[in-house]
């Protein structure tokens, strides 16, 4: 009770979960976190959601890995197998750090000698700090010698980043979430922020409540945010381009274009204009399921308002036409001049607490830090000078491509730090086959994850609250996460582990801590050149781009020009490309996957957070009540959901916000892994998988 909550120490830090980047204080007693309270950070103003406030006890969970493990000889990796809940470590034996690190590095060296450097790949983590992500990509590029390095951004906003880099020259947001209070119109599309960015959603709700902001929600599901919306457009899953081109058609044909902005600040408008003429609201209404009058009203509202802002999520990005969806959103902002001012702009709501930062520091296969392309000679020369080794100029493979290459025998060895592709990758039976076929797999994590099950060596790592580092939130705000407690047993900090592997690969690294790594990052990245560690300590947070120590940082960008070669934004038209796998007679329903409020991504943390797991303890599939009736089932019954790739059983939840003909499954439950069903078809530009759409069938019965 009260005595337990009387903390010995308080440590100011941040939330380990989502990209909103709430600041918080850990209350520590007897070496354990006993309570969390919100701080007055720029993104949360003291607020926290249920994950940030109550999801703090996973680091102390009894299943933490506390010593290095090496796979016992002769134990096969079975892609269809599951962890034995009674003895999840059965396939492994304990090892000393010295032995485990030597074993890990020797395996990498053997593969380079036998198969060449491109037979190796690394997955870093968007949950680690900027310093960890920077060192991890530097290790793969300079120690392995390949650009085969990626992380879960590929499964999240890769398409947004590709479209934004092409259109406006920068992959990050133009305005912070808090700018919704300056907007007259806020468009939220393909995002469920009340669940996935809860504190950000509170600012949207506050703005609406004040009466100065109108919300337009575009989502096939009627989520809780719809209650706050002036318009909810429940468009058909997969019809994003039809919907958005219809809005552009209205703007272009009804004289709603900001002619001056288009003339001075954009290029390629004529091509867009010609293209959208074929997409009248009347023609698109039967395709997207929204009547023409509503489409016209919404287009006028967005275009005419003093300031309109667009926020979007995975519902937009995780399609084979994800890049096209975002091109349409960019075009909307450009033709109406709704960008470059407070309360306007484009905001892809970033998922993980550091997915923005991890991408910025180069944890992606085609770019060095600050998005300099690896196939650009000047960029390569810059990093060869800085890092002192020759670098490869071929863009590397992406997440799904790496798994495909492992299945095909071209990737032989991997180092996976803090990612769980056995759960998070599309078509996870295929992903597990790829992991199982590796000759050498190093996994660095907190728990025996579904991915670690396939490892040859497991390195026990540190949780967010057990280390110090910088993190960059969805608003481009850099903040410090501070160590509050020590890792258990022999678990070590990730920065130390990465360096030990690097040294064994012949790299002369001797960083004394995150501060020193941050200094090197600053010298390599003009975007954060003005952000010093001292400044972060003093000011609590600094927004990039930040060119010098006197630059306050720029929350709103693109005010004068775009960071493109011409200084103008490029408008790119898009046409309708259907989903890779449409429903048919055998698989008549659409599967939409996503997250839920209490659980985080693959569940490895939140399912071990006692309060969160108590609230949502079991896998569910949400179905419209009439569709449930159609299969003779009720809420609470067990349903079996099957696609061409796999089958899972889980409990039915009735939800009349789910469109008829679709079902929704969160992907965090290992016992009913939604990604066993999903399709690995890729967007051709961004290589993001179509996690938001595939064909399934559902029947009553099965065993959870
Ligand atoms: Fe953490 Fe995101 Fe919740 Fe804030 S909104 S407390 S960052 S999970």
SS (H, E, C) 277-292: CCCCHHHHHHHHCCCH
Predicted ipTM beyond 0.95: yes
Terminal CA-CA length for the chain: 36
pLDDT of 1 over the 60 cut:
no
- For residues 382 and 378, give the distance between their C-alpha atoms in angstroms, rounded to a whole number: 6
Neighbours of 225 (CB within 10 A): 22
215 pocket-lining for ligand 1 (C-beta < 6 Å): no
Residue 239 pLDDT > 50: yes
* Residue identifier of the C-alpha nearest atom 3 of ligand 1: 49
CA–centroid distance, residue 346 to ligand 1 (Å) = 21
pLDDT band at 657 (very low <50, low <70, confident <90, very high): very high
Closest ligand 1 atom number to CA of residue 17:
8
How many residues does the structure list for the chain?
A: 704
Percentage of residues in the chain having pLDDT higher than 70 = 99
Pocket test for ligand 1, best of 37, 127, 197 (most atoms within 8 A of CB): 197
Residue 47, ligand 1, Cβ within 6 A:
no
The residue to mutate among 18, 58, 202, having the most atoms of ligand 1 within 8 angstroms of its beta carbon, is 18
CA distance readout (Å), 390 to 119, 140, 360, 431 = 18, 13, 22, 32
Separation of CA 313 and ligand 1 centre (Å): 16
pLDDT digit string, tens, across residues 615-646: 999 999 999 999 999 999 999 999 999 999 99
Cβ–ligand 1 contact at 18 (below 6 Å): yes
- State the chain's mean pLDDT as an integer: 96
Question: Does the pLDDT at position 236 exceed 80?
Answer: yes
Cα radius of gyration (the chain): 24
- Average pLDDT of span 539-550: 96
pLDDT tens, 275-284?
999 999 999 9
Quick one: which atom of ligand 1 is closest to the CA of 353?
A: 7
Q: How far is the CA of 258 from the centre of ligand 1 (A)?
A: 37
Report, as an integer, the average pLDDT of 64-69.
Answer: 98
Q: How far is the CA of 345 from the centre of ligand 1 (A)?
A: 23
The answer to whether the beta carbons of residues 366 and 147 sit under 8 Å apart is yes
52 lines ligand 1 (CB under 6 A): yes
* pLDDT at position 374 over 70: yes
For 312-352, write each residue's pLDDT tens digit: 999 999 999 999 999 999 999 999 999 999 999 999 999 99
Does the CB atom of residue 51 touch ligand 1 within 6 A? yes
C-beta atoms surrounding 116 within 10 Å: 12
Task: Decide: helix, strand or coil at residue 149.
Answer: strand
Pocket test for ligand 1, best of 17, 177, 191, 194 (most atoms within 8 A of CB): 17
Question: Residue 88 — very low, low, confident or very high, per pLDDT cuts 50/70/90?
Answer: confident
Residue 21 CB–ligand 1 contact under 6 Å: yes
Instruction: Assign 456 a pLDDT band (cuts: 50, 70, 90).
Output: very high
Mean pLDDT of 142-150: 98
As a whole number of angstroms, the distance between CA 357 and CA 369 comes to 10
Confirm or reject: Cβ of 20 under 6 Å from ligand 1: yes
Q: Which pLDDT value is given to residue 4?
A: 53
- The alpha carbon of 499 and the centre of ligand 1 are apart by a number of angstroms equal to 30
Residues 679/580, Cβ–Cβ less than 8 Å: yes
Residue 285 has pLDDT above 50, yes or no: yes
Give the Å distance between the CA of 542 and the centre of ligand 1. Answer: 19
Q: Measured in angstroms, how far is the CA atom of residue 392 from the centroid of ligand 1? A: 38
Q: Provide mean pLDDT across the span 233-251.
A: 98
Q: What's the confidence (pLDDT) of residue 81?
A: 78
DSSP 5-62: H--SEEEEEE-SSBTT--EEEEEEETTEEEEEEE---TTTTT---HHHHHTT-GGG-T
Q: Which of 49, 50, 472 to probe ligand 1 with, by most ligand atoms within 8 A of CB? A: 49
Residue minimizing CA distance to atom 1 of ligand 1: 52
Question: Confidence band (pLDDT; 50, 70, 90) for 7?
Answer: confident
Q: What is the pLDDT of residue 87?
A: 86
Burial class of residue 109, CB neighbours in 10 A (0-12, 13-18, 19+):
middle
The pLDDT-based confidence of 5 (bands split at 50, 70, 90) is low
Query: What residue's CA is closest to ligand 1, atom 4?
Result: 22
User: CB-based burial of residue 4 (10 Å sphere; 0-12 exposed, 13-18 middle, 19+ buried)?
Assistant: exposed
Do 366 and 171 contact (CB within 8 A), yes or no? Answer: no
pTM of the full structure: 0.96
Is the shortest distance between the CB of 128 and ligand 1 below 6 Å? no
Question: Measured from the CB, is residue 609 less than 6 Å from ligand 1?
Answer: no
**Whether residue 86 has pLDDT greater than 90:** no
Quick one: tokens of 235? 């468009």
Q: Would you say the CB of residue 44 lies under 6 angstroms from ligand 1?
A: yes
What residue owns the CA closest to ligand 1's atom 2?
18
Q: How many DSSP H helices and E strands does the chain contain?
A: 24, 28
């Amino acid at each position: 009770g009260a005595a337990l909550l009387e903390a010995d120490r308080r440590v100011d830090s941040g939330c380990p979960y989502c990209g909103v980047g709430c600041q918080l204080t850990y209350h520590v007693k007897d070496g354990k976190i006993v309570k969390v309270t919100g701080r007055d950070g720029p993104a949360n103003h003291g607020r926290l959601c249920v994950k940030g406030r109550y999801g703090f006890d996973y680091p102390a969970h009894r299943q933490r890995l506390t010593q290095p493990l090496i796979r016992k000889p002769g134990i096969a990796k079975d892609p269809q197998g599951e962890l034995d809940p009674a003895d999840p470590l059965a396939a492994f034996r304990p090892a000393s750090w010295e032995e485990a690190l030597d074993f890990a590095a020797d395996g990498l060296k053997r593969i380079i000698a036998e198969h060449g450097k491109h037979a190796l790949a690394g997955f870093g983590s968007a949950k680690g700090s900027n310093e960890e992500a920077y060192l991890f990509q530097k290790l793969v590029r300079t120690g392995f010698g390949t650009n085969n390095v990626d992380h879960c951004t590929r499964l999240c906003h890769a398409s947004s980043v590709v479209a934004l880099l092409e259109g406006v020259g920068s992959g990050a947001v133009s305005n912070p979430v808090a700018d919704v209070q300056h907007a007259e119109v806020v468009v939220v599309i393909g995002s469920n922020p009340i669940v996935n960015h809860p504190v950000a959603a509170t600012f949207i709700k506050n703005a609406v409540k004040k009466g100065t902001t109108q919300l337009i929600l575009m989502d096939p599901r009627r989520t809780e945010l719809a209650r706050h919306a002036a318009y909810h457009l429940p468009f058909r899953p997969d019809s994003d381009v039809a919907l958005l081109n219809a809005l552009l058609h209205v703007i272009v044909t009804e004289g709603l274009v900001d002619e001056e902005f288009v003339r001075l600040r954009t290029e390629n408008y004529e091509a867009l204009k010609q293209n959208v003429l074929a997409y009248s609201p009347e023609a698109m209404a039967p395709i997207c399921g929204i009547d023409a009058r509503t489409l016209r009203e919404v287009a006028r509202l967005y275009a005419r308002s003093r300031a309109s802002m667009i926020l979007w999520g995975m519902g937009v990005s995780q399609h084979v036409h994800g890049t096209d969806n975002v091109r349409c959103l960019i075009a909307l902002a450009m033709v109406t001049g709704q960008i470059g001012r407070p309360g306007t702009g484009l905001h892809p709501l970033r998922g993980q607490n550091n997915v923005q930062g991890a991408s910025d520091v180069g944890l992606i296969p085609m770019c060095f830090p600050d998005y300099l392309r690896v196939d650009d000679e000047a960029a390569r020369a810059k990093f060869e000078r800085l890092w002192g080794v020759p670098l490869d100029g071929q863009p590397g493979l992406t997440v799904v491509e790496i798994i495909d290459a492992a299945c095909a025998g071209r990737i032989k060895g991997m180092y996976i730090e803090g990612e769980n592709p056995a759960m998070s990758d599309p078509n996870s039976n295929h992903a597990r086959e790829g992991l199982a076929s590796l000759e050498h797999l190093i996994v660095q994590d907190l728990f025996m994850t579904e991915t670690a099950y396939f490892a040859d060596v497991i390195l026990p790592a540190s949780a967010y609250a057990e280390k110090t580092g910088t993190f960059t939130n969805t608003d481009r705000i850099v903040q410090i996460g501070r160590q509050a407690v020590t890792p258990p047993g022999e678990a070590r900090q990730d920065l130390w582990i990465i360096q030990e592997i690097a040294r064994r690969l012949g790299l002369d690294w001797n960083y004394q801590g995150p501060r020193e790594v941050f200094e090197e990052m600053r010298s390599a990245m003009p975007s954060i050149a003005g952000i010093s560690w001292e400044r972060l300590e003093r000011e609590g947070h600094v927004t990039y781009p930040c060119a010098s120590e006197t630059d306050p940082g720029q929350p709103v960008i693109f005010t004068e020009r775009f960071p493109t070669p011409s200084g103008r934004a490029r408008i790119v038209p898009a046409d309708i490309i259907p989903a890779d796998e449409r429903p048919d007679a055998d698989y008549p329903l659409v599967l939409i996957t996503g997250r839920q409020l209490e659980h985080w991504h693959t569940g490895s943390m939140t399912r071990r957070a006692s309060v969160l797991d108590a609230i949502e303890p079991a896998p569910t599939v949400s179905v419209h009540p009439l569709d449930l009736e159609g299969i003779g089932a009720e809420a609470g019954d067990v349903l079996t959901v099957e696609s061409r790739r796999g089958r899972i059983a889980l409990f039915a939840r009735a939800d009349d916000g789910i469109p008829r003909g679709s079902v929704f499954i969160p992907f965090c439950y290992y016992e009913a892994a939604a990604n066993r069903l999903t399709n690995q078809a890729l967007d051709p530009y961004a290589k993001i998988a179509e996690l938001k759409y595939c064909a399934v069938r559902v029947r009553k019965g099965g065993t959870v």
